[in-house]
Amino acid sequence: MKIAAFNAKKLGLRKVKNTKVCKYLIKIISQYSIVFILEVMDKTGKAMEMLLEKLRAVCDKYEMVCSSALGRNGYKEKFVCFYREDEVELTDQHQYEDNQPGDEDAFAREPLILRFYCPTTVAKDLVLIPVHTQPNDAEKELDELHDVVKAMRRKWKSPNIMVLGDFNAAGSYLSKKKKKVIRISSPPFYWLIDDTADTTTHSNKHAYDRIVVYTKKMQNTIVPNSAKPFNFQREFRLNKKVALSVSDHYPVEVELKTAVRRREKATHCARKTSTKGKPSKKGAQKRSKPADYNGRKTQAAKRKRNEQ
């Protein structure tokens, strides 16, 4: 099961009505069981309803959750999540209020936090926290995510928490030195996409978009090396102009281990043990006993007693 976050660059009615752009948006979104779309600028909600309709033409199992318009002053964005109802169940949601005493309004866009039941994965109860930081406040907002995660841990008691989205965690917005001091940069937080990744369609290589999981236990539910940017420009063989018309960011994705794979592995191990067992002596062959072996043994014992 694959999960992703995608900064779709000022996604509104104009882009959804653009046939070519929308075609690639649908191709990207339909790869995932759960995907958060960031930087949605859709005051009326018509653009996302239209996008959902087009998405359902490809797969009718998708549902959608939208946040309210979030942001300071006149600039507003929405968090939008598309998910497959045949694979996961939305069990709860929470709009983070960002009203901690002495540290109010730490986020330009407070996360819309969703909780899913995932019946086929190792991590059954999953909490997802989408992020789109204000570039110039990236350090402060990323540090504040520590408190968001802890708050949701207390609220929902789930150990399986993932933070994903556009962190602006690179370049001039967050130096490596500053990254080291933010509270989510060290255990029990684990960054699945490292600083060397390129998550933008521009020629400059920056790892703005990230995925972070809370606790080692959660990290162990992830398919190893599955967290990465999805380079749709290369995948769909787009020129730079067309790629930028879709977005200036690549989605970041990750795959969760499935419970089925776990059972298959256990079955395989059992077979391996039962066929090999204890090593036999070199050159020796194990002979099977005749079907009537036990009966013959009993009769022989009776004859021996009678003779005595």
Known catalytic residues are 77, 132
Question: Residue 187: is the preceding peptide bond cis (ω within 30°)?
Answer: no
The first and second tokens of residue 102, run together, are 């002495």
Tokens of 226: 């599955």
Contact between 33 and 2 (Cβ < 8 Å): yes
From CA 143, how far away is CA 158, in angstroms rounded? 21
> Which of 56, 50, 48 has the alpha carbon at shortest distance from 86?
56
Based on the number of CB atoms within 10 Å of its own CB, is 131 exposed (0-12), middle (13-18) or buried (19 or more)? buried
Pick from 78, 75, 71: nearest CA to 107: 71
Alpha-helical regions (H) of the chain: 13-17, 19-29, 46-58, 138-156, 176-181, 216-219, 232-235, 240-246, 259-276, 293-307
Crossing angle of helices 19-29 and 46-58, rounded to 10°:
60
Residue with tokens 């509270």: 183
Strands 2-11 and 252-255, how do they pair?
antiparallel
Compute the distance between CA of residue 2 and CA of residue 9 in angstroms, rounded to an integer.
Answer: 22
